[in-house]
Amino acid sequence: MLGFAQPCTHTLWNSLNFLTSQRSKLLTSNTSRYLALFLLLLACGEVLVLSTFVPLDDAVHNWIEVHRSCTGTRLFLSEWPMVSLIALGVFTFLWLCHQQRWTEGIHGGAVIILGSFLVELLKTAFERARPNTLPPLFTGNSFPSGHTAGALLLAGTLGYFLLQQRTAAWKKGVGVIVLLVCVAAVMWQRLYLMHHWLSDIVGSVLFASAWLCFALVRPTEQSVVQHFAPACIGLLVGYPLFYYFPATRITLPAVMTSTREPLLSLSFGDVNSAVVFQGAWGEQSHEPAGPVTWMHYGEASLDVQLPHRQAYTMQFAARPSLALRSETCFPLEISMNQQLVQRFLLHRGWRHYELRLDPSLIQVGLNTLTFRTAASTAAPAAPQEAVAFRTLALFAEGQ
């Protein structure tokens, strides 16, 4: 009798362990999905109140502009963080295939690939101007950040597989730290190089984290196909809808879409402009971005009529003529009535720049605004194009 009872007890004990482990996994799956829903609600909430983040976006953008350097630009222009994450992802996939862990490899690949497509769906659905003067038609929409979301998808998936391995805790800790450093570097690059606003980065983190919480933990009773079927259906329905029917897209507020009325607005390259250009101004031409006026190396100025002696905010759109790929920025000094206001480092490509004109620099009536290539920039023997200007606007402070 005892001999019969021992196998029965052993079988019952194994069954209880199995059921307990299954219930634990189901609870883990449910918890993960609740967390995914919470993060998704936070991301949607940010979209709804995005206008409140615009002043913070502008402040961070201007702070980076003031503290940016050519050395820093060259350093952060490198794509090493993203390349490192991609290389680690490929290595991990090949390692899983080598161990014939096909399900895990397919699962991880689906998390990253489908997540990236979902981010592209969001970038198509949300129209938001980037921190430059070109329309989204040329540069793509700003929200969310594809690089930030992609880095987080790669790092999150790799970290999930790493933590499941039977290895020393310190090795797991080092691996997670390396992944987090790569993600942080990608996020800082997008801000430092002025490709995205701070709120773009925050939204990308929330959306990507929500997807990871939903996609990484798969209930044991579901196959990989069943698990990702809703996302695939959403992509197949949503992307054609937003792509072929632009009226369905949602326009998000940004610093560049400010409705402030400028006190003075100038479109460079406009032959009907009443502004008199003096100094090293060059030819007017037309680019895909619109009409422009080139400034040669040296000093160029224009006269501005201002009705009051008060603080003003000046915004202008410009791009430097950088002939070599190794060149990353161009120093330009701006003065008002022969007093230096700010020294800018113009980044490659069309950018939006902003500076404050202090009341002590202003006089009622005619004011001379001067642009000067920095003394550190060697001027060529013959006149040569240095900076292209597209637009300039002056706003009374407080508008």
Residue 274 is assigned to a structural domain of this protein: yes
Residue 14 is assigned to a structural domain of this protein: no
Report the distance separating Cα 362 and Cα 353, nearest Å.
20
Contact 148, 201 (CB under 8 A): yes
The CA R_g of the chain, rounded to the nearest whole Å, is 28
Residue 127 is assigned to a structural domain of this protein: yes
* Same domain as 231, residue 288: no
How far apart, in Å, are the Cα atoms of 16 and each of 2, 13, 26, 221?
21, 5, 15, 18
Place of tokens 């006149």: 383
pLDDT value, residue 134: 60
Report the distance separating Cα 143 and Cα 208, nearest Å.
13
How would you class 388 by CB atoms within 10 Å of its CB: exposed for 0-12, middle for 13-18, buried for 19 or more? buried
pLDDT value, residue 325: 53
* Same domain as 312, residue 240: no
- Domain with 56, as residue range(s), is 25-255
* Same domain as 225, residue 369: no
* Same domain as 322, residue 228: no
* Same domain as 274, residue 295: yes
* Same domain as 147, residue 123: yes
* Same domain as 211, residue 291: no
* Same domain as 244, residue 101: yes
Contact 219, 91 (CB under 8 A): no
* Same domain as 230, residue 326: no
Domain finish residue from 197, 225, 255: 255
Residue-wise pLDDT tens for the chain (399 aa)? 444 344 444 443 444 344 334 433 444 567 888 898 999 999 999 999 998 998 898 888 888 877 777 777 777 777 889 999 999 999 988 888 888 888 888 888 899 999 999 999 999 889 888 886 565 555 678 889 999 999 999 999 999 888 888 888 888 889 899 999 999 999 999 988 888 899 999 999 999 999 999 888 877 777 878 888 888 888 888 888 888 888 888 888 877 655 567 888 888 876 566 567 788 888 887 777 778 888 888 889 988 888 888 888 888 888 888 765 556 678 889 999 989 988 888 877 778 788 888 888 888 888 889 999 865 555 555 568 888 888 888 888 765
* Same domain as 268, residue 247: no
Residue 1 is assigned to a structural domain of this protein: no
Token duo for residue 267: 């479109």
Residue 332 is assigned to a structural domain of this protein: yes
Residue 328 is assigned to a structural domain of this protein: yes
Domain finish residue from 255, 286, 308: 255
Domain finish residue from 194, 222, 255: 255
* Same domain as 184, residue 119: yes
b/e burial code for range 353-368 (CB count within 10 A of at least 16 → b): bbbebeeebbeeeebe
Domain tally, the chain: 2
CATH of the domain at 268: 2.60.120.200
Residue 92 is assigned to a structural domain of this protein: yes
pLDDT value, residue 379: 54
Contact 131, 195 (CB under 8 A): yes
* Same domain as 374, residue 269: yes
Residue 7 is assigned to a structural domain of this protein: no
Residue type for 55, please?
P
